[in-house]
């Protein structure tokens, strides 16, 4: 009753709020929330001891190490190179720049399975890149390094696309002021530009990490999928499902889900941090 009175008093001028919000909540609840709840409930039904056993089994631990480790490595690579790519795209002029800029989004648009087989064909011992690298003693395909390569691919656009707008919005006057005060170019970059870009870099890292963590399609072809060595957690989940070990699959999945939630929250906080640093126009 109190709710009804509250809603009536605050009559909204624009129509359709109830309908829109109601449909949104219903749809989202049915499609997203309830299935996710099923996972949480199912994993809670797994007896505690069994849960721990599944999650700390050597095979599972190896998979976690690989999934998290490779994801971190890939995100870190993307931060460094993605920042350079963003810089080059924003600051320099060169032929086909529009094309390159559009191409950066390829990992967004390309199905992961296609990326998987393409990367494998490149880095396999018989591949265009794999052969010279193997000769140098650096095998890529069917090793953790291959996993890192695949995860770098899928995370590539995240850092670039997060840093680009920040660089574009940077006031040229900041650098000019620094130069007029006698700073060398690298000092300006380190002391003036880097702090401005830092929130975006952090956000991009977190986004790339989130993407890489649960990645499946682009990894399973190049990884080799050897248990305890090159097996990622999502694959382990699939294997357990195929063996009808639903409990085991749910246990592993809920750990990954928890990590995803944490990352999502972190990303949110980071985005709020970067929004405070640069007041968007029109606010």
Partner 1 sequence: MTSAPVTAVVRPGRVTAEPWPVRGLLLGIAGVFLGLFLVLPLVAVFGQALAKGWEAYWAALSDPDARSAIRLTVLTAAIVLPLNVVFGVAAAWAIAKFEFRGKSLLLTLIDLPFAVSPVISGLIYVLVFGAQGWLGPYLAAYGIKVIFAVPGIVLATLFVTCPLVARELIPLMQSQGTEEEEAALVLGARGGQMFWRVTLPNIRWGLLYGAVLCNARAMGEFGAVSVVSGHIRGLTNTLTLHVEILYNEYSFAGAFAVASLLTLLALVTLVAKQLLEWRVRHAGRAARAGPGPAPEEAA
Partner 2 sequence: MSIAVRGVSKTFGRFRALDDVSLEVRTGELVALLGPSGSGKTTLLRIIAGLETPDCGTIHFHGEDATALRVQDRRVGFVFQHYALFRHMTVFENVAFGLRVRPRRVRPDRREIRRRVQRLLELVQLEWLADRYPAQLSGGQRQRVALARALAVEPKVLLLDEPFGALDARVRAELRRWLRRLHNEIHVTGVLVTHDQEEALEVADRVVVMNHGRIEQVGTPEEVFHHPATEFVMHFLGHVNVFRGRFVGQKAVFGGIELDVPDAPETGSLEARGFVRPHDLDLSLAPGPDTLLEGTLMRVNAAGPQVKVELRSEAGEVIHVELSQERHRALGLTAGMRAYVRPRDIKLFPSGTRPVSAEAAPVG
Binding site for partner 2 (CB under 8 A): 9-11, 13
Does residue 214 interact with partner 1 by CB under 8 A? yes
Does residue 100 interact with partner 1 by CB under 8 A? yes
Among residues 227, 239, 234, 228, the alpha carbon closest in space to that of 257 is found at 234
Residue 243: name its binding partner from partner 1, partner 2, none (Cβ under 5 to 8 Å by kind): none
Residue 234: Cβ-neighbour burial (10 angstroms; 0-12, 13-18, 19+): buried
Binding to partner 1 (CB under 8 A): which residues in 46-75?
Answer: none
Write the CA distances from 225 to 55, 124, 187, 233, integer angstroms.
18, 14, 46, 10
Q: How far is the CB of 52 from partner 1 (least distance, A)?
A: 20
Does residue 194 interact with partner 1 by CB under 8 A? no
Q: Give the x/- contact pattern for partner 1 in 6-45, rule: CB under 8 A.
A: ------xxxxxx-xxx-xx--xx--xxxxxx-xx--x---
Residue 19: name its binding partner from partner 2, partner 1, none (Cβ under 5 to 8 Å by kind): partner 1
Does residue 226 interact with partner 1 by CB under 8 A? no
Does residue 117 interact with partner 1 by CB under 8 A? yes
Residue 88: name its binding partner from partner 1, partner 2, none (Cβ under 5 to 8 Å by kind): partner 1
| 196, 224, 257, 273: residue in contact with partner 1 (rule CB under 8 A) | 257
| 44, 61, 113, 138: residue in contact with partner 1 (rule CB under 8 A) | 113
Q: Which are the contacts of 214, defined by CB distance < 8 A and separation ≥ 6?
A: 234, 256, 260
| 118, 134, 167, 198: residue in contact with partner 1 (rule CB under 8 A) | 118
Q: How far is the CB of 198 from partner 1 (least distance, A)?
A: 19
Among residues 143, 146, 262, the alpha carbon closest in space to that of 209 is found at 262
The separation between CA 207 and the C-alpha centre of its own chain, rounded to angstroms, equals 4
Work out the number of other CB atoms within 10 angstroms of the CB of residue 194.
Answer: 12
Find out whether 42 and 250 touch, Cβ atoms under 8 Å: yes
Among residues 236, 240, 248, the alpha carbon closest in space to that of 47 is found at 248
Q: How far is the CB of 65 from partner 1 (least distance, A)?
A: 17
Residue 206: name its binding partner from partner 1, partner 2, none (Cβ under 5 to 8 Å by kind): none
DSSP 67: H
| 54, 144, 221, 231: residue in contact with partner 1 (rule CB under 8 A) | 221
Q: Count the site residues for partner 1 by CB under 8 A.
A: 94
Does residue 238 interact with partner 1 by CB under 8 A? yes
Find out whether 204 and 158 touch, Cβ atoms under 8 Å: yes
Instruction: Give the C-alpha separation, 6 to 4, whole Å.
Output: 5
Among residues 77, 59, 76, 230, the alpha carbon closest in space to that of 145 is found at 230
> Which stretches within 214-245 are classed as H helix?
217-223, 233-242
Q: How far is the CB of 12 from partner 2 (least distance, A)?
A: 9
Q: How far is the CB of 58 from partner 1 (least distance, A)?
A: 21
């Amino acid at each position: 009753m109190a709710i009804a009175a509250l809603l009536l008093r605050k009559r909204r001028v624009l129509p359709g709020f109830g309908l829109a919000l109601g449909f949104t909540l219903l749809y989202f609840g049915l499609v997203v929330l309830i299935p996710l709840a099923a996972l949480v409930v199912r994993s809670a039904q797994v007896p505690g001891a069994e849960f721990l056993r599944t999650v700390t089994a050597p095979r599972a631990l190896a998979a976690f190490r690989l999934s998290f480790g490779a994801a971190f490595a890939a995100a870190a690579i993307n931060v460094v190179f993605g920042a350079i790519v963003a810089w080059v795209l924003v600051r320099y002029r060169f032929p086909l720049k529009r094309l390159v800029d559009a191409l950066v989004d390829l990992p967004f648009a390309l199905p992961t399975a296609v990326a998987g087989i393409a990367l494998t064909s490149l880095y396999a011992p018989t591949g265009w890149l794999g052969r010279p690298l193997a000769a140098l003693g650096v095998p890529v395909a069917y090793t953790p390094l291959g996993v890192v390569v695949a995860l770098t691919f899928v995370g590539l656009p995240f850092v670039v696309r997060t840093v680009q707008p920040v660089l574009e919005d940077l006031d040229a006057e900041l650098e000019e002021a620094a130069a007029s005060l006698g700073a060398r170019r690298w000092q300006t970059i380190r002391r003036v530009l880097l702090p401005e870009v830092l929130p975006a870099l952090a956000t991009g890292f977190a986004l790339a990490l989130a993407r890489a963590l649960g990645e499946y399609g682009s990894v399973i072809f190049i990884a080799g999928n050897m248990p305890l060595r090159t097996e990622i957690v999502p694959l382990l989940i699939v294997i357990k499902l195929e063996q009808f070990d639903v409990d085991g699959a749910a246990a592993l999945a809920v750990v990954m889900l928890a990590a995803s939630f944490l990352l999502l929250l972190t990303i949110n906080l980071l985005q709020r941090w970067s929004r405070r640093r640069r007041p968007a126009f029109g606010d």
